[in-house]
Amino acid sequence: MINVLANDGISKSGKDSLEKDGFNVSTVTVAQNQLISYVNKENISVLLVRSATTVRKDLIDQCPGLKIIGRGGVGMDNIDVDYARNKGINVINTPAASSASVAELVFAHLYSGVRFLFKSNRAMPLEGDSNFKGLKKTYAKGVELRGKTIGIIGFGRIGKETAKIAIGVGMKVLAYDKFLEKADLTLDFHDGKKINFEIKISKFDYLLKNSDFISLHVPAQKNFVINKNEIDMMKDGAGLINAARGGVVNEVELVSALDSGKLSFAGLDTFENEPKPAVKLLMHPKISLTPHIGAATNEAQDRIGLELADQIKSILS
């Protein structure tokens, strides 16, 4: 029997798929400092994680029985991937499974920003009965996304899914990706109809200067993708969404740009200091906030679990 530890959980569909094929799947959450001991004691061959658990060289070195390390999601910056593969361990992830969920969250933040939902949801419980007309006047200057331009930095799977929603909303799409010159998109509709679009990749500076809203879809970086210089290039009153990774936006410069009015709002799902984001961000009246839940939909978790199960069975069959 092959033992699997899904330390950050796995969907019921994924667990059932593995158990149907004879795998023993544990979903107990083992503390990081006890993980090496647990993996060895329980003879774990497959370790599945999301973003909460890290798999570094010490664990890889001290757990010789590991055959597969799996990441439920896209980014694998919490795993020493090359080191594990050099040790003969298979490292897998599920890059396609959560793309649509993250893209929908981007638009939740965009709509929240342009219609002041994150502000009015805070104010209405406090003043809705005593200052209804005042609040109505305060939040009456929303704008439509239709007809506006979204700049998408990083045009992989999630960037493309974001573009598809944008096109459906009626937005113009600018995309930047250092690995692409153009990209083909297919929009699928409920009745089987399809429409194809070709997106030509823009220059980075052009995107910054010409986008009403900018959404980031890049992996973890050593340096900021959006720093003061990039913010200065953006349109006055632009909105910025980061549902990618903490550390790709200089948060100090972001707060400064929001305070000065250079940027009108931001939507953040990821932060430099997780799980303790800076208080200035959490309390800022111009930031729509979520706690790194981009991939956290029931549908995405089902797809992730099944995709991991299929890959594990393929490798170990």
The set of catalytic residues is 245, 274, 292
Strand order, beta sheet including 172-176: 172-176, 149-153, 213-216, 238-242, 263-268, 287-289
Tallying the residues shown for the chain, one arrives at 317
**The two structure tokens encoding residue 132:** 């209804």
Contact 285, 263 (CB under 8 A): no
Please report where in the chains the tokens 């909303």 appear, as a residue.
169
* Other Cβ atoms closer than 10 A to 115: 16
Q: What's the alpha-carbon Rg for the chain, to the nearest Å?
A: 22
Cα torsion angle, 220, 222, 225, 231, sign: positive
- Cα 316 to Cα 265: distance, rounded to the nearest angstrom: 48
- 274: part of which helix (H) or strand (E)? none
Could you check whether the bond before residue 275 is cis, i.e. omega within 30 degrees of 0? yes
Contact 268, 288 (CB under 8 A): yes
- Cα 169 to Cα 10: distance, rounded to the nearest angstrom: 33
3-state secondary structure of 191: coil
